[in-house]
Amino acid sequence: MKKGIEKSLSLVIPAHNAAKVLNQSVIEYYQLFSQCMEQLEIIVVCNACTDDTVAIAQELAKTFPLKVLNIPHRGKGNALIRGFNLASYERMGFLDCDNPFSLEKMKQMLQELDKVDIAIASKYLRGSFKHKKGVRDSNLRRIIALGGQCISFTVFGLTFRDTQAGAKFFRKTVWQRLGKTMTCVGFDFDIELLYKAKKHKYSIAEFYTPLVKVEKFSTVRVKYLAGMLYRLFKMRFFG
Name 223's Cβ contacts closer than 8 Å, sequence gap at least 6: none
Q: Which option is the CATH number for 8-238: 3.30.230.10, 3.90.550.10, 1.10.150.120, 3.40.47.10? A: 3.90.550.10
pLDDT of residue 239 exceeding 50, the answer is yes
Contact between residue 37 and residue 107 where contact means Cβ atoms under 8 Å apart? no
Q: Where are the domains of the chain?
A: 8-238
Average pLDDT of the chain, as a whole number: 87
H or E segment to which residue 71 belongs: strand 66-71
- Tens digits of residue pLDDT in 82-109: 999 999 999 999 999 999 899 989 999 9
Rounded to whole angstroms, how far apart are CA atoms 211 and 142? 13
Rounded to whole angstroms, how far apart are CA atoms 156 and 46? 30
Q: Which has the higher per-residue pLDDT, 77 or 127?
A: 77
- Tens digits of residue pLDDT in 122-159: 987 654 444 445 455 556 556 666 666 788 888 999 99
